[in-house]
Amino acid sequence: MAKANGRKSIFITGAASGIGAETARLFHSRGWFCGLYDIDETGLKAVADEIGADNCHVATLNVTKREDWAAAMTGFSEATGGKMNVLFNNAGIGRHGWFEDIPPEEADLVVDVNVKGVINGIYASISLLKETGEARIVNTASTAGVVGSPRLAVYSATKFAVRGLTEALDVELSGLGIRCTSLMPWFIDTPILDMGLTEGANVKMADEIRENGQDVYPVSLAAETAWEAAHGKDIHYMAGKRAKQARFAARFMPGRLKKQILGGLPPRD
């Protein structure tokens, strides 16, 4: 088993692709030991091969299963000497479409992964975080957790939940020496933009984004912002200029923002 050998360590869910994989690359490049966790074994292996077997601990993890979390924590603790500097709760999924067109079981899965998965991770890791000192939880939320996003209603609801959980725990855990922050990206060039109504759906969110000419930021921007979220003094970290603009508009110009959102929606059948 690879060992941290005194290096700072980060536990990353959703590490097989997208923001999780890029964050692993970035933290590794800055001398950190990375725990890589996902349900995608092939993707995990590719990332581990890239950063080197001596620099990471790798295991499959379904964030909705507490037994998976317990096993992952045991392995990570053995690799890091019982320490965890950062828990990066990054795994997430979405479904895109009118609310009534998304099957309830698909909505359940979004909630299970995006909210319960984050909660499970914090429960599982809190003892390691307490032992580390000046540790941090970074939860991936979204600009959809600042602005209610039509045709992403359930996804948006989960990201509002993550935002609220983050704010509450940043206060609650401060007495234990643990900070809790969130990463709030705009559209990032990752596989989640291929979300549809269901797995395998022909109509993807990415198609609408491209048709509307909206900005899509590189995954490297999200990883750099995750680094800031792991080290900075703020609670929420917006990734992308459009994300910062949306937060400002939601606070100071909600009526104008709603009109803009309505103007970008396709007609209802």
Question: Is 123 a catalytic site residue?
Answer: no
- Sequence-separated (6 or more) residues with CB below 8 Å from residue 108: none
| Burial track 122-142 (b if 16+ CB lie within 10 A, e otherwise) | bebbbebbeebeebbbbbbbb
Q: What is the spatial distance between Cα 189 and Cα 179, in angstroms, rounded to a whole number?
A: 28
Q: How far apart are CA 83 and CA 8, in angstroms?
A: 8
In sequence order, the 6+-apart residues with CB closer than 8 A to the CB of 255 are none
Give me the sheet containing 236-239, strands edge to edge. Answer: 56-60, 33-38, 9-13, 86-89, 135-140, 178-185, 236-239
DSSP 37-53: EES-HHHHHHHHHHH-G
**CB-CB neighbours of 100 under 10 Å:** 7
Q: Would you tell me how many other CB atoms lie within 10 Å of the CB of residue 263? A: 7
The total number of residues written for the chain in this structure: 269
> Helix crossing, 153-172 with 117-132: angle to 10°?
20
**Which residue in 37, 123, 155, 217 is the catalytic one?**
155
Which residues are catalytically annotated? Answer: 155
